[in-house]
Structure 1
Amino acid sequence: MKLKSKHYYIRKSHRYLGLILGVQFLFWTVGGLYFSWNDIDEVHGDHLRKEKRHFPASLNLVSPHVVLESIKDTKQVDSVLAVQLIDINGMPAYQVRYFSGEMDHSAHNEDGHMPAQSSNVKVQLANAETGQLVSALTEKEAVNVARAQMADPIKVEKVEYLTEVGSHHEYRGKPLPAWAVTFSQPDNCTAYVSAELGTFQSIRHNQWRVFDFFWMLHTMDYQGRDNFGNILLRAFSIFGLFTVLSGFVLYFVSSPSVRKVKKRTLKAN
């Protein structure tokens, strides 16, 4: 039986590798084109938002210590994570994040920081002018916060209260619970407001959703979108390298020019 040449096996391996990887290469190329032709600020929805407002220098605020003492009257405060001055519908407010109870070190993010919704991190809002404690945002307050973010306030179509979201949800990885305020336009726009933090979190619209879909195809992380170290991506990267190398090898073993050079070299020897 006649043995098949090495050229045959190289061509065959290159063909099948190209077939397997071709679809993913197409996704990477189309995704890359979409990323490069879209302004990332517009993808984030910055063009839909008003310019950020600042507090006047004449603002008369109580000390955060007053708020902390009020919290300690009813709750256990082990240590303070952060105190931030925020705006809640025109009211200056303190957003106090503090630890209460035993520290759960497993709850840290990959960057080492404690997420806002960790079980032992509590949040308390307070009127920064009076020191009076304030409850988490109601639906009406959250809608007003969302509308205040929009450059052109428009009709509210739907409001949802989110206590949990899946790994594919467009609000994944953000503080919960949250209010999702969907507007009639533009581009099926939804603004997300954290109930406990009292602040706007993000805007999601159709352009972002298309970007997110291509981002999933680009990273090949079909669980949470953002894991660049997943096994599937690593495997396709290695196979992609083999495909390119096999193409170079196939060129050198089948190129007439290379064969002529080899023949001249053999004759010279």
Structure 2
Amino acid sequence: MKLKSRHYYIRKSHRYLGVVLGLQFLFWTIGGLYFSWNDLDEVHGDHLRSEKRYLPADLALVSPQVVLDSLKRTQQIDSIATIQLVEIVGEPVYQVRYFAGSATHAAGEAGGHAGANATNQKVQLARATTGELLPALTKEEAIAVASSQLKAPVKVENVEYLTEAGAHHEYREKPLPAWAITFSQPANCTVYVSAELGTFQAIRHNQWRMFDFLWMLHTMDYESRDNFGNLLLRVFSVFGLLTVISGFVLFFVSSPRRKLANNYQRANR
């Protein structure tokens, strides 16, 4: 009777653990299949993009100091983050990231440094051939940048100016403000261009969106999608381990050989 009761409780615990975890195991399996059968470069949209263009070496560029001197006439510059030469629709442009105000000093005193998302970081574009300061990209300029990124852009379906993007937005954790340019083809894709940086940031299409949805189910992070240390995933991982262990135990205690051994012991008592 004691052995039967033990079998009963093992089977019952295994069954209920299976019911609780079965759906999530299905999501993990479907997600794993999708991840393994899709090329990550295609998910990122690399196959939709045109070849990267480089600036010629014989350009006549002004010194970045010219840009800084012009910028200091109108802006208070606390420190320089980066000065980068970028290409915007075939034109060489200086992309100057700088800090204004005293927030960088406070961060330095605290032992840290101001990062790319610091609230006091600003960006200034300037024509690299003349030093002329340029404003943030207009709608038409953003469309031109987005179109230059695609191999075969078709019709522009929609253009949206983003000033914020939530945790579930497909442009999350990217520089804002940004222009979102959606094309009818290829693959119903949306190209995101940073208005202040003036450059391409991301391309999102149907294959990426499916990957992102399954990734959320895979990580069980329904807020930001990328937190592998969330409590829900940890709990289900422990339950999954218990389910597997209970299955092995159930197989061992229910094996025919063990039953024969137990029957033999009872017969010889």
Same fold by TM-score greater than 0.5: yes
Q: Structure 1 pair 69/266, CA: closer, same or farther in 2 (3 Å)?
A: farther
Q: Structure 1 pair 41/116, CA: closer, same or farther in 2 (3 Å)?
A: same
**Aligned-pair CA distance for 1:261:** 5.9
> Is residue 200 from structure 1 mapped to residue 179 from structure 2 by the alignment?
no
Q: Structure 1 pair 106/227, CA: closer, same or farther in 2 (3 Å)?
A: farther
Residues 81-134 of structure 1 show CA distances to partners (whole Å, capped at 9, x for unaligned) of 111111111110011111112336999xxxx88553431111111111111111
CA contact (8 A) 2:160 2:181 kept: yes
The aligned residue for residue 159 of structure 1 is 159
Q: Residue 54 of structure 1: SS of its match in structure 2?
A: coil
**Aligned-pair CA distance for 1:191:** 0.3
Q: Residue 238 of structure 2: SS of its match in structure 1?
A: helix
> Is residue 41 from structure 1 mapped to residue 41 from structure 2 by the alignment?
yes
> Is residue 212 from structure 1 mapped to residue 212 from structure 2 by the alignment?
yes
Distance in 2, Cα, partners of 1:222 & 1:191: 24
- Structure 1 residues 64-73 or 39-48, which shifts more? 64-73
Gaps of 5+ in 2: none
| 1:1-269 correspondence runs (5 A) | 5-103=5-103, 115-260=115-260
Q: Structure 1 pair 116/30, CA: closer, same or farther in 2 (3 Å)?
A: same
Q: Residue 252 of structure 2: SS of its match in structure 1?
A: helix
Q: Residue 5 of structure 1: SS of its match in structure 2?
A: helix
Q: Structure 1 pair 113/5, CA: closer, same or farther in 2 (3 Å)?
A: farther
CA contact (8 A) 1:117 1:176 kept: no
**Aligned-pair CA distance for 1:143:** 0.4
Query: Normalising by structure 2, what TM-score?
Result: 0.91
**Aligned-pair CA distance for 1:232:** 0.5
CA contact (8 A) 1:188 1:206 kept: yes
Gaps of 5+ in 1: none
RMSD value over aligned CA atoms?
2.5
Percent identity between the two aligned chains: 69
CA contact (8 A) 2:146 2:200 kept: yes
CA contact (8 A) 1:27 1:217 kept: yes
CA contact (8 A) 2:153 2:186 kept: no
